[in-house]
């Protein structure tokens, strides 16, 4: 367990990545009580320096000895590195909040979204898992409704930005978009295909396109990303009886994921009742005024901490159904912010 202190020694694994940058920004914004900050990354980041609170901090090469004296590890260095290095961090008496998929479905590892299941932080054995980005925003929006009306079934379609796949994917969308912009004279008749050498990170062109595959396909014909949403949602909401199906799509948006979520509940909820419940729920901002064309969009959610919910309407095809449009910045609430909120809970319970 974390020992009570005025300030804590914090290590960031994957400090030079997209989520690592958000860790630094949000830790500073929230004035997290840091005594020592240790930035860890692979050997290719050797010599780099990153700014935190107007001070330059060197990036150290991640090793099994990197965690001596560290209290809290915020990890976003990928599943393989988490599996390799986090046991060493736990052995050094650090508590780890891991943003990878490595430990999420382990029975003895809590999977936590503070707005939903904060009590689970007390059950850790050195590692707490941060859920997948698309799962986090979904459960923040669904949990308040589940508590009131009990959700029986969820049908989720996600429209996920390229930043969810890492920095190189962001650059690929940028390069492809620039290449198309240079050759197109008339958008109505122009060629929107890019040269094959610009397609490296994704299996197909992402600019001006949609790819209905995120991660690898499994034997059931769902992708790994789709099954993450299914399995993680049940674990976080502590209800294996919920029937869930999902389709995850990569879209040419730089930041923020969008989700169309259809739910069936045991108790009838009108759209107005759902709107009132969500308006009072923590971590949610309702934007829902169709008459004025007001609804959440990725550009609006980018850089924000809340989960945005709109297009709340009753599903007229079933008796107790609702449709929700859910948007959130996947690097903030979908990753770094949620992990830091978990760390804040650890300090609160220390």
Q: Is 194 left (phi over 0), alpha (psi -120 to 50) or beta?
A: beta
Q: Rounded distance, CA 315 to CA 61, Å?
A: 52
To the query of whether residue 133 is one of the catalytic residues in this protein, the response is yes
From 140, 133, 150, 114, select the one nearest 322 (Cα to Cα). Answer: 150
Tokens 């965690």: give the residue: 67
Strand order in the sheet with 321-328: 243-250, 151-160, 257-265, 321-328, 307-314, 284-286
Collect all residues with Cβ–Cβ distance below 8 Å to 198 and sequence separation of at least 6.
Answer: 172, 175, 176, 179, 205
Tokens encoding 38: 């240790």
Q: Are strands 243-250 and 151-160 parallel, antiparallel or unpaired?
A: parallel
**Bridge partners, 34 (sequence order):** 8
Tokens 């941060």: give the residue: 130
SS3 152: strand
Q: Rounded distance, CA 150 to CA 348, Å?
A: 30
- Mark 278-289 as b/e (b = at least 16 C-beta within 10 Å): beebebbbbbbe
To the query of whether residue 96 is one of the catalytic residues in this protein, the response is no
From 99, 92, 91, select the one nearest 75 (Cα to Cα). Answer: 99
Residue pair 322/313 in contact by the 8 Å Cβ criterion? yes
**Bridge partners, 278 (sequence order):** none
Collect all residues with Cβ–Cβ distance below 8 Å to 294 and sequence separation of at least 6.
Answer: 287, 288, 310
Which of the following is catalytic: 57, 96, 124, 133? 133
- Which residues participate in catalysis according to the annotation? 133, 257
């Amino acid at each position: 367990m974390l020992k009570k202190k005025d300030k804590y020694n914090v290590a960031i694994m994957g400090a030079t990545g997209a989520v690592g940058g958000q860790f630094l920004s949000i830790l500073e914004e929230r004035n997290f009580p840091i005594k020592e900050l240790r930035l860890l990354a692979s050997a290719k980041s050797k010599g780099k320096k990153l700014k935190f609170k107007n001070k330059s901090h060197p990036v150290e090469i991640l090793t099994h000895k990197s965690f001596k004296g560290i209290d809290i590890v915020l990890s976003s260095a990928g599943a393989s590195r988490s599996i390799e290095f986090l046991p060493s961090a736990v052995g050094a008496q650090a508590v780890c909040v891991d943003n990878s998929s490595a430990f999420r479905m382990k029975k003895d590892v809590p999977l936590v979204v503070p707005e939903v299941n904060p009590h689970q932080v007390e059950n850790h054995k050195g590692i707490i898992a941060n859920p997948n980005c698309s799962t986090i925003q979904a459960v923040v929006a669904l949990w308040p409704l589940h508590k009131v009306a009990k959700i029986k079934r969820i049908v989720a379609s996600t429209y996920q930005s390229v930043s969810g796949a890492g920095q190189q994917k962001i650059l690929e969308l940028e390069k492809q978009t620039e290449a198309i912009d240079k050759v197109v004279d008339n958008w109505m008749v122009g060629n929107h295909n890019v040269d094959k050498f610009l397609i490296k990170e994704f299996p197909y062109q992402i600019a001006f396109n949609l790819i209905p595959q995120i991660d690898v396909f499994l034997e059931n014909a769902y992708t790994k990303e789709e099954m993450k949403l299914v399995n993680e949602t049940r674990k976080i909401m502590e209800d294996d009886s919920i029937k869930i199906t999902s389709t995850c799509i990569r879209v040419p948006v730089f930041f923020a994921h969008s989700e169309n979520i259809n739910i069936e509940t045991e108790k009838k909820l009108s759209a107005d009742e759902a709107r009132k419940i969500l308006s009072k729920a923590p971590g949610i901002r309702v934007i829902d005024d169709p008459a004025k064309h007001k609804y959440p969009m990725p550009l609006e959610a980018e850089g924000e901490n809340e989960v945005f919910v709109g297009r709340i309407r009753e599903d007229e095809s079933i008796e107790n159904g609702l449709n929700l449009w859910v948007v959130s910045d996947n690097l903030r609430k979908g990753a770094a912010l949620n992990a830091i909120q978990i760390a804040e809970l650890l300090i609160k319970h220390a």
